[in-house]
């Protein structure tokens, strides 16, 4: 029994944990220790940026992108609402600074600017996100944006599950 009263092997954490859905996974083995509504489709909001960052870091690791590369902000990227760093159209920032904007400020504008920089368009980057999610084993994830702003299209809504997020985080 841990210090917060949870006994290993239990199927759900105590009701004191107020979450609609969760998966508690042992990262090195992938063993699910506890879960609640693990396959319930939910809107991930800014947690989406984990996948965005994952693809950015993979591009860096592959040598396709460098920390000092210059990223030009499009009018579309600058128009994002919500959490942002107020990038201006045609403003230039380094990949390194964009990473800080995304990871520290949860910047929707920087997420779209990086998506466009890497893939040529937000739509192409989102296709990469969905392909990566499927490759990791996600079965109930559908990304429409690289920043997590609510969106829907003819295929569905921007959504994922706690189970799929646990797979993304483990990856």
Active site residues: 46, 49, 106
Q: Are 115 and 76 in contact (CB under 8 A)?
A: no
Other Cβ atoms closer than 10 A to 8: 9
- The token pair at 157 is 């809504």
Using CB atoms within 10 Å of the CB of residue 129, give its burial: 0 to 12 exposed, 13 to 18 middle, 19+ buried.
buried
Location of structure tokens 């003819």: 154
CB atoms within 10 A of CB 84: 20
DSSP state of 75: H
Q: Is 5 left (phi over 0), alpha (psi -120 to 50) or beta?
A: left
Q: Which ranges constitute the DSSP H helices of the chain? A: 49-61, 75-78, 95-105, 108-119, 122-136, 162-170
């Amino acid at each position: 029994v841990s210090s917060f009263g949870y006994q290993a092997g239990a199927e759900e954490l105590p009701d004191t944990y107020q979450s609609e859905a969760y998966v508690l996974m042992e990262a090195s083995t992938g063993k699910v220790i506890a879960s609640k509504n693990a396959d319930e489709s939910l809107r991930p909001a800014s947690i989406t940026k984990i996948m965005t960052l994952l693809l950015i870091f993979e591009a860096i690791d592959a040598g396709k992108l460098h920390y000092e590369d210059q990223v030009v902000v499009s009018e579309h990227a600058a128009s994002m609402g919500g959490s942002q760093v107020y990038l201006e159209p045609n403003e230039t920032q380094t990949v390194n600074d964009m990473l800080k904007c995304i990871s520290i400020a949860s910047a929707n504008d920087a997420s779209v600017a990086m998506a466009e920089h890497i893939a040529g368009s937000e739509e192409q980057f989102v296709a990469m996100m969905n392909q990566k999610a499927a490759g990791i084993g996600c079965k109930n994830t559908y990304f429409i944006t690289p920043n997590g702003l609510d969106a829907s299209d003819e295929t569905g809504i921007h959504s994922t599950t706690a189970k799929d997020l646990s797979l993304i985080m483990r990856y």
